[in-house]
Each structure stands twice: as C-alpha cells, then as structure tokens.
Amino acid sequence: MTEPVGLRARKKARTRDVIADAAISLFLANGFDQVSVSDIAAAAEVSKPTLFRYFATKEDLILHRFMDHQGEAARVVRDRQSDLAPLTALHRRFRAGLERFEPVTGLNDHPEVVAFHRLVFATPSLAGRLMQYMLDDEDALAAVLDRGIAARLQAAQVIAVQRVLARTNWQKIADGRTARDVQPEAVTDADRAFAQLRHGTDSS
C-alpha cells in the first residue's frame, strides 16, 4: 500500500523543517564553522545521506530561508500590470516588504533574525553562497526585462540596491535600534535609491 502523494509531501516538508531548524539552532549557538554536518544529522535524528537529499550543501542549511525569495524580482516584473513600469513595480514590492517588516528587507528586529543575518554576513562561505543566489536573481530579472546589455545592467543595479538597502537596515538594528524606529529612514532610503535607478546619479 502506497502513501497518498499529499501525505508524502507533508512528511518530506516536516523532515526538511526539522533538519533546517536543528541546523540553524546549532549554527547560532556555536558558529557555522564549528558545527559539522554530522552534528546536524544527529540533532535532527536523520542520516547524513538523508540530510543531503534535502540540502545540497552545508551553506544551504541556513540560506534556504532566502529561497522563498529566489527569483522574486523577476516574478514581480513578469506579473506586474501592463501599464506599470518594471522599476515602479519593484519599488512598490520593496516598500511593501518594509511595511510588513519582512526579514529579507533587513527591517526586522526579532533577535533570531538579527543573529541570523549577523552569522550570514560574518561567515565568508555563507556570504559567498548568498552572492551566488543574488547572481541567479540578477540573471532571472535580466531575462524578463529584455535582452541585451541594458537589461543586464539594470538587473544588476536593482539587485545591488536591494542588497545595500537590506544590509543598511540590518546594521542599524544590529547597532541597537528597533525596526519601527528605523522604518521611516528605510522607506526614505528605498525611495531615494529607486529614484536614482530611474533617473541616474549624475546631477550635472
């Protein structure tokens, strides 16, 4: 007798969550480089082969949280209303994230979120892997904007702006401020950044 597809999918999702939660708890408590894959497998009560069926690399055990947003910029542009400019749609999406204090915008002061970002930014292998995610996002965005160098340049600028805005917001919170205190500045920074993307930085 075989399991229903829905039940199998739920069991896989639970196993993935258990592994990821165990990994992040260990990483936050001990540091990324001090925790082995064997440690994580033992904490999650799974075998190493099982762990690697869900996560291809050790880095993905923590960076999977960014995967929900993988390709998001491309989706925003692709699914926008026909009369809405791509940069306007991306600007509105980032502003909406700030309003909801989404962790991906850096504007979230939950202690675990702040510690999570500190771990990612301070660990070279994690920062490098995250950069690859961003390059993939850049490629996806360029593909929906248009073909050619102009689209690639604009996509690179958008992804860089979002990264700088998020890192700036996180740093202010890591320095001891609350997300609500930082929010007005975060909105102003986002508005200024996207205005520069639209109009350029040369004021001469």
pLDDT of 204 reads: 35
| CA atoms of 48 and 192, how far apart (whole Å) | 47
| CA atoms of 67 and 20, how far apart (whole Å) | 13
The CA-CA-CA angle for residues 190, 117, 36, to 5°, reads 155
Unique residue bearing structure tokens 């994230």: 97
pLDDT of 108 reads: 96
pLDDT tens for each residue of the chain, 204 residues long: 455 668 888 899 899 999 999 999 999 999 999 999 999 999 999 999 999 999 988 999 988 877 778 899 999 999 999 999 999 999 999 999 999 999 999 999 999 899 989 998 889 988 888 888 899 999 999 999 987 899 999 999 999 999 999 999 999 999 999 999 999 999 999 999 999 998 875 443
| CA atoms of 157 and 65, how far apart (whole Å) | 23
pLDDT of 148 reads: 87
SS3 sequence of 109-130: CCHHHHHHHHHHHHCHHHHHHH
Burial 77-114 (b: 16+ CB within 10 A, else e): beebeeeeebbebbbebbbebbeebbbbbbbbbeeebb
- The string of DSSP codes covering 181-194 is HHHHHHHHHHHHHH
Predicted TM-score of the model (pTM): 0.81
